[in-house]
Structure 1
Amino acid sequence: MAEKQKEMSFLGHLEELRWHLVRSAAAIFIIAIVLFVFQKEVYENFLLAHRKSDFITYQLFCDFFTYFKLDSGFCNVVFKDNLISLKPTQQLMNSIWSSFILGIILSFPYLLWEIWRFVAPGLTKNEVNKSRGFIFIASFLFFCGIAFSFYVIAPISIHFLYNYQITDLIQNNFTMDSHIGLVTNMLLGVSILFELPVLIYFLTKIGLVTPDFLKKYRKHALVVVLILAAIITPPDVASQVIVAIPILILYEVSIRVSKIVIKKQEKDARKGTRV
Structure 2
Amino acid sequence: MGFALRRRGPSKFDRAADGSMTLIEHFRELRTRLFRASLAVVAGITLGFWLADPVRALLQQPYCNLPTSIGPDGQCTFVQLGPADVFLLNLKIALWVGLIAAAPVWLYQLWAFIAPGLHRHERRYAYIFTAIAAPLFAAGAVLAYFVVQKGLEFLMNFAGDDINTTLEVTRYISFVTNLILLFGVAFEFPLVVLMLNFVGITSAKRLLSWWRVAVFIFFAFAALVTPTPDPFGMSALALCLSALYFAAVGVAYLNDRRRGRGKEVYAGLDDDEASPLDDDPQPVGAVEQVDAVDPIVPAQPVPQPLPIERRYDDMT
TM-score using structure 2 length: 0.63
Out of 191, 199, 210, the residue aligned to residue 217 of structure 1 is 210
Q: Deviations over 1:41-95 (max 9, x none)?
A: 2222x22122333xxxxxxxxxxxxxxxxxxxx7x56433621111222112211
Please name the residue that 1:42 is paired with. Answer: 55
- Which amino acid is the alignment partner of residue 162 of structure 1? M
Please name the residue that 2:231 is paired with. Answer: 237
Q: Work out whether 1:193 is the aligned partner of 2:186.
A: yes
Aligned length: 240
| Matched position secondary structure for 2:81 | coil
Contact 2:144/2:183, CA 8 A, preserved across alignment: yes
| Matched position secondary structure for 2:70 | coil
Contact 1:194/1:247, CA 8 A, preserved across alignment: yes
Out of 249, 254, 258, the residue aligned to residue 248 of structure 2 is 254
| Offset at residue 175 of structure 1 (A) | 0.8
- Which amino acid is the alignment partner of residue 256 of structure 1? G
| Matched position secondary structure for 1:48 | helix
| Matched position secondary structure for 2:78 | coil
In structure 2, C-alpha distance between the alignment counterparts of 1:90 and 1:198, rounded to whole Å: 38
In structure 2, C-alpha distance between the alignment counterparts of 1:172 and 1:32, rounded to whole Å: 33
| Matched position secondary structure for 2:147 | helix
| Matched position secondary structure for 2:235 | helix
TM-score using structure 1 length: 0.71
Please name the residue that 1:56 is paired with. Answer: none
- Structure 2 vs 1, CA of residues 125 and 261 (structure 1 numbering), >3 Å: closer, same or farther? same
Contact 1:197/1:257, CA 8 A, preserved across alignment: no
Contact 1:109/1:139, CA 8 A, preserved across alignment: no
In structure 1, C-alpha distance between the alignment counterparts of 2:109 and 2:259, rounded to whole Å: 27
| Offset at residue 19 of structure 1 (A) | 4.3
| Offset at residue 195 of structure 1 (A) | 1.8
In structure 1, C-alpha distance between the alignment counterparts of 2:259 and 2:35, rounded to whole Å: 36
Out of 131, 134, 140, the residue aligned to residue 136 of structure 1 is 131
- Structure 2 vs 1, CA of residues 130 and 242 (structure 1 numbering), >3 Å: closer, same or farther? closer
- Structure 2 vs 1, CA of residues 52 and 126 (structure 1 numbering), >3 Å: closer, same or farther? same
In structure 1, C-alpha distance between the alignment counterparts of 2:231 and 2:209, rounded to whole Å: 26
Query: Which residues in structure 2 correspond to 1:107-186 (within 5 Å)?
Result: 107-125=102-120, 127-129=122-124, 131-150=126-145, 152-165=146-159, 171-186=164-179
- Which amino acid is the alignment partner of residue 142 of structure 2? A
- Which amino acid is the alignment partner of residue 61 of structure 2? A
Please name the residue that 1:28 is paired with. Answer: 41
Q: Which has the larger share of helix?
A: 1
Identity of aligned residues (%): 23
Contact 1:226/1:240, CA 8 A, preserved across alignment: yes
What are structure 2's unaligned runs of at least 5 residues? 1-18, 265-316
In structure 2, C-alpha distance between the alignment counterparts of 1:200 and 1:15, rounded to whole Å: 37
| Offset at residue 146 of structure 1 (A) | 2.1
What are structure 1's unaligned runs of at least 5 residues? 1-5, 54-73, 271-275
Please name the residue that 1:62 is paired with. Answer: none
- Structure 2 vs 1, CA of residues 169 and 52 (structure 1 numbering), >3 Å: closer, same or farther? closer
